[in-house]
Amino acid sequence: MITRNTIGSPVADLRDGPYGSYDKTGSAARPPYGTGSLGIEVADGSQAGSDPREKVDFGNEVDFYGDSVLSLQNVGFRVFQTHENVLAGGPDNLPNIRFEIDPNLTSNSTNYSTLVWVPAAIPSTSENQWSGYIDATQNGYWYLTGAAGGPSGTNCSSSLPHCSWADIKDRLDDGGSSGRPTILSAAVGKGRDSAWVGAVDGLRINRTIYDFEADGVNARRVN
């Protein structure tokens, strides 16, 4: 868990399971790799103050530091979605992939932003079970937080307009005087929005798949 990016008392914990409900069989009924996953739980009303919603990031602040954002070619994961999550926030109430980055834009001097992927809604027939691989370079949309996502930056923000993967990479590649955009950290996260209880497995970043197990994270190389 990335402590400085966590608000409230959410859960992001390596665990066994989960397994699909009683009527699920085959590959959708069990974790896609091994026997475990990354369990995530966030609440939408547990905090005091003006915004009661929780937030959590589970990731790596070391191994991706300094890597090029533009070198990202494959990104995605598999998710265990429930019907209760859909009731809480709609069919697109799902976790995200987040890269903290230094945008190095010519148009904007900010040296910090978070590059966020928001998956598209999962069909109702895929609830209460594991999804197939969701390709973040083809599915859903991306945005940048702060000034880098605004009109003076890439114009890819959390509110409209959103960007496709191809568009946001193109807009980040603007020849900034400090160099090309670089990664600071990589994480799976949820919040601050609707309550969610589920799991993620098989996080893919380029040629590595991260298999979340109760006793640790296994890196699987993709040929």
pLDDT in tens, 44-73: 988 778 889 999 999 999 999 999 999 999
pLDDT at residue 219, as a whole number: 97
Selection from 89, 88, 94 nearest residue 126 by Cα: 94
User: Phi then psi for 140, rounded to 5 degrees?
Assistant: 70, -150
* Nearest CA among 139, 131, 123, 119 for reference residue 31: 131
Q: Which residues pair with 78 in a beta bridge?
A: 201
Instruction: Please report the pLDDT score of residue 175 as a whole number.
Output: 72
- Regions in the chain scoring below 70 on pLDDT: 176-178
Topology of domain 3-221, per CATH? Jelly Rolls (2.60.120)
Q: What is residue 48's predicted lDDT score, i.e. its pLDDT?
A: 79
Tokens of 21: 């409900």
Cis bond leading into 95, ω under 30°? no
Find all residues with CB under 8 Å of 192, minimum gap 6, and list them: 7, 51, 53, 54, 55
Task: Give me 79's structure tokens.
Answer: 């998710």
pLDDT score at 221: 96
All structural domains of the chain with their residue ranges? 3-221
Q: Which residues of 198-211 are buried (b: 16+ CB within 10 A; e: fewer)?
A: bbbbbbbbeeebbb
Residues near 6 by beta carbon (within 8 Å), at least 6 away in sequence:
12, 55, 56, 57
* 90/196 Cα distance (integer angstroms): 11
CA–CA separation, 142 vs 129, rounded Å?
25
